[in-house]
């Protein structure tokens, strides 16, 4: 049986010191110790529905080609030609017509990275195409969500999202399709995005439209230690959905029913994913640090595939509601980062409503150590 609680904070709990948000050294250490080693979510596999569909993902400064092959398998290939190191692919989502070809000297690769052709290399003594496939990053798909790791290729290793698999199956996340994606670039440190997502202490002040539909004190958590943190919040009596109208005609996802039909679940998955499970849609935020004071956030809205085929399907009521909520969050995150840069800043005390933030800080500092 699931246990949901409201964990408080320990005595004298304090926010992280300024150096963890501002220091170039801390940022470089995060790239090496966290983002290059951990499992990073780069999106949902519906983004590459057909063989040859691909998109580019940047992880710890490395460009990766996320591509689906003819058998349906998804690969994470380093975007580096084995000839002279040229970037193979540019831009965003695209489709490769049968092969991946270098724009410089036309070395040509299969979707799984195998070298198929290397012009004028057949007369080079000792050259064997089998020796020069594209290099791969480790990749795992967890109920539709694509994770990559630059260092962990061990078969037994799994992204921490696996701990939520039963809930993902209930929501049928593997069968959902991407309907909308919004990219934001924030003038703040990435950890402020995670910390803000993990508390609703700010909601009555910052999100009046959200507070009107879902009370900030209704939250309870079932994951309150480690890389996955979060739980649920309820709808208010009379509210039907977290949308601009407070209602929705979309059916419930998967096998969602009972209490879950009036709950939204929010989980942060260290270090790159914010997962929001609503009764009629799933929203994810993927997080990519650019600099100590710059963060890219991609917000993706996922809906039932059959529902999306209906002529009347329109996700705007949910997209507009959460785009407003996002922008409200990004504004206060940027204000917080600006304040942390002041000589007057010193770590302040956490409230009991911020118990998950203290848990995030513990996990972050342990990982950095």
The residues pairing with 172 across neighbouring beta strands, listed in sequence order, are none
In a shared domain, residues 327 and 188: yes
How does strand 282-291 pair with strand 294-304? Answer: antiparallel
Strand pairing report for 294-304 and 53-59: unpaired
Only one residue has tokens 């956490």, namely: 350
Cis peptide before 271 (omega within 30 of 0): yes
The CATH number given to whatever domain includes residue 150 is 2.102.10.10
pLDDT classification of 12: cutoffs 50, 70, 90: confident
Number of domains in the chain: 2
The reported pLDDT for the residue numbered 92 is 83
Is-contact 113 136, C-beta < 8 A? Answer: yes
- pLDDT score of 6 more than 90: no
Residue 164 lies in a domain: no
Q: How far apart are CA 310 and CA 122, in angstroms?
A: 54
Token pair, residue 269, equals: 């998955």
Give the pLDDT confidence score for residue 243 in this predicted structure.
98
In a domain, 340, yes or no: yes
Query: Is it the case that residue 140 has pLDDT exceeding 70?
Result: yes
The average pLDDT across 109-134 equals 97
What integer pLDDT is reported at residue 272 of this predicted model? 98
Kindly report the length of the chain. Answer: 369
Give tens-digit pLDDT for 146-188.
Answer: 999 999 777 778 999 999 999 999 999 999 999 999 999 999 9
- Is pLDDT above 90 for 74? yes
Per-residue pLDDT tens for 283-299? 999 999 999 999 999 99
User: What pLDDT score does 8 carry?
Assistant: 79
294 CB contacts (<8 Å, ≥6 apart)? 185, 186, 187, 188
What is the three-state SS of 215-238? CHHHCEEEEECCCEEEEEEECCCC
Supply the pLDDT for residue 1. Answer: 55
Q: Report CA-CA distances (Å) from 131 to 77, 134, 135.
A: 16, 10, 11
**Same structural domain for residues 86 and 120?**
yes
Q: Are residues 85 and 190 in the same domain?
A: no
Contact (CB, 8 A) for 337 and 187: yes
The phi-psi region of residue 176 (left if phi > 0; otherwise alpha if psi is between -120 and 50; otherwise beta) is beta
What letter would DSSP give residue 35? I
Residue 293 lies in a domain: yes
Residue 1: CA atoms inside 13 Å, Cβ hemisphere, count? 3
CA 128 to chain centre: 39
Q: Where does the chain have alpha helices with state H?
A: 19-22, 24-30, 165-171, 190-197, 203-206, 208-213, 305-309, 316-340, 355-368
Average pLDDT over residues 272-287: 98
Q: Which residues pair with 275 in a beta bridge?
A: 267, 284
Smallest CA-to-CA distance from 54 within 106, 86, 97 is with 97
Domain match, 20 and 49 both: no
Q: Bridge partners of 185?
A: 296
Residues 52 and 30 in one domain: no
Residue 123: exposure state from Cβ atoms within 10 A (0-12, 13-18, ≥19): exposed
pLDDT above 70 covers a percentage of the chain that reads 99
The residue out of 132, 158, 184 marking a domain boundary is 158
Count the neighbouring beta carbons within 10 Å of the beta carbon of residue 193: 23
pLDDT tops 60 at residue 245: yes
- Find all residues with CB under 8 Å of 43, minimum gap 6, and list them: 55, 57, 66, 145, 146, 178, 284, 286, 298, 300
Give the model's confidence band at 86: pLDDT under 50 very low, under 70 low, under 90 confident, else very high. very high
Residue 348: pLDDT above 60? yes
- The reported pTM is 0.96
| Spatial separation of the C-alpha atoms in residues 177 and 184, rounded to whole Å | 21
Q: Mark which of 98, 127, 158 sits at the end of a domain.
A: 158
Residue 102 shares a structural domain with residue 56: yes
168 is a domain residue: no
Do 223 and 347 fall within a single domain?
yes
Q: Provide the pLDDT confidence category of residue 190 given band limits of 50, 70 and 90.
A: very high
Upper half-sphere CA count for residue 52 (Cβ side, 13 Å): 7
> What tokens were used for 296?
């890219």
Q: Cα 246 to chain center, whole Å?
A: 26
Range of the domain at 70: 40-158
User: Are residues 105 and 235 both part of a single domain?
Assistant: no
Residue 312: phi and psi, rounded to 5, are -85, 0
Residue range 204-226, pLDDT digits in tens: 999 999 999 999 999 899 999 99
Average pLDDT over residues 79-101: 95
Is pLDDT of 5 > 90? no
What does the pLDDT read at residue 64? 98
Handedness of CA 86, 91, 93, 96 (dihedral sign): negative
pLDDT at residue 195 tops 80 = yes
User: Are the C-beta atoms of 358 and 13 separated by less than 8 Å?
Assistant: yes
Q: Which CATH number belongs to the domain containing residue 220 in this structure?
A: 3.90.380.10
């Amino acid at each position: 049986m699931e246990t949901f609680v409201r964990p408080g904070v320990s005595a004298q709990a304090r926010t992280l010191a300024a150096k963890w948000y501002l220091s170039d050294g801390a940022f470089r250490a995060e790239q090496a110790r966290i983002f290059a080693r951990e499992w990073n979510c780069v999106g949902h596999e519906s983004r590459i529905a057909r063989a040859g569909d691909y998109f580019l993902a940047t992880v710890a400064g490395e460009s990766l080609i996320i591509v689906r092959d003819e058998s349906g398998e998804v690969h994470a290939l380093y975007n580096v030609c084995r000839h002279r190191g040229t970037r193979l692919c540019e831009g965003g989502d695209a489709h490769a017509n049968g092969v991946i070809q270098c724009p410089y000297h036309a070395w040509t690769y299969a979707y799984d990275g195998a070298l198929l052709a290397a012009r004028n290399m057949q007369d080079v003594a000792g050259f064997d195409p089998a020796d020069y496939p594209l290099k791969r990053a480790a990749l795992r798909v967890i109920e539709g969500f694509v994770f990559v790791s630059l260092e962990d290729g061990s078969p037994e290793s799994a992204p921490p999202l696996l701990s939520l698999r039963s809930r993902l199956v209930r929501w049928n996340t593997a069968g959902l399709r991407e309907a909308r994606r919004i990219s934001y670039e924030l003038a703040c440190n990435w950890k402020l995005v995670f910390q803000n997502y993990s508390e609703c202490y700010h909601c009555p002040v910052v999100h009046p439209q959200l507070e009107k539909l879902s009370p900030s004190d209704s939250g309870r958590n079932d994951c309150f230690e480690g890389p996955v943190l979060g739980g649920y919040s309820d709808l208010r009596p009379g509210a039907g959905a977290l949308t601009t109208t407070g209602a929705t005609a979309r059916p419930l996802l998967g096998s969602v029913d009972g209490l879950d039909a009036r709950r939204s679940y929010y989980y942060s998955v260290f270090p790159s994913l914010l997962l929001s499970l609503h009764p009629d849609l799933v929203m994810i935020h993927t997080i990519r640090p650019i600099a100590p004071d710059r963060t890219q956030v991609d917000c993706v809205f996922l809906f039932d595939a059959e529902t999306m085929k209906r002529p009347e399907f329109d996700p705007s009521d949910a997209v507009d509601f959460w785009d407003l909520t996002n922008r409200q969050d990004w504004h206060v995150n940027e204000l917080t980062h600006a304040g942390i840069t002041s000589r007057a800043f010193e770590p302040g005390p956490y409230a009991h409503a911020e118990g998950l933030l203290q848990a995030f800080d513990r996990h972050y500092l342990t990982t950095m150590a």
